Structure 1
Amino acid sequence: MSKYSALWEYVQKNGSQALKLTFEEIQDIAGIPIDHSFLKYKKELTEYGYQVGKISMKEQTVLFTKMD
């Protein structure tokens, strides 16, 4: 089980074509702060039918998009 499993499940259950979450929201959902390891774990999200799109350090947001 991944440390980001709760986040991946949240994104999948949301069901939107695109979902933008702040780093703070991700921390609340996942129960851990987002860190550099997120880049390593993000590929797991494809198993849930989504992918990580744009990560904005300036806005501190992550865009999740549904895969076709």
Structure 2
Amino acid sequence: MSKYDALWMYFHDRTEPQIKLSFAKIKKIAGIELDHSFLSYKRELLRYGYTVSKISLKNQYVIFNRIE
């Protein structure tokens, strides 16, 4: 079980080609704040058909792209 499972489940039924989530929205979905470990855990997202394409620390958002 991953600490980001709630976030990954958010992507389970999604079909959008790109999803942009603010850090605040991710905290609301996942119940935890993003931290440095997200860089390691993001590989788990591949199982749900998405990948992380950009993380903006300055503007506090993450862009996820659907895998074709």
The question of a shared fold, defined as TM-score above 0.5 by the shorter chain, is answered with yes
- 1:7 and 2:4 equivalent? no
- 1:38 and 2:41 equivalent? no
Give unpaired runs (5+ residues) of structure 2: none
Q: Distance in 2 between matches of 1:21 and 1:55?
A: 10
Q: % of aligned pairs identical?
A: 53
CA shift, 1:9, in A, is 1.2
Aligned length: 68
Give unpaired runs (5+ residues) of structure 1: none
CA shift, 1:54, in A, is 0.4
RMSD (CA atoms): 0.9
Residue type matched to 2:29 in 1?
Answer: I
Q: Distance in 2 between matches of 1:14 and 1:40?
A: 22
**TM-score normalised according to structure 2 size:** 0.93
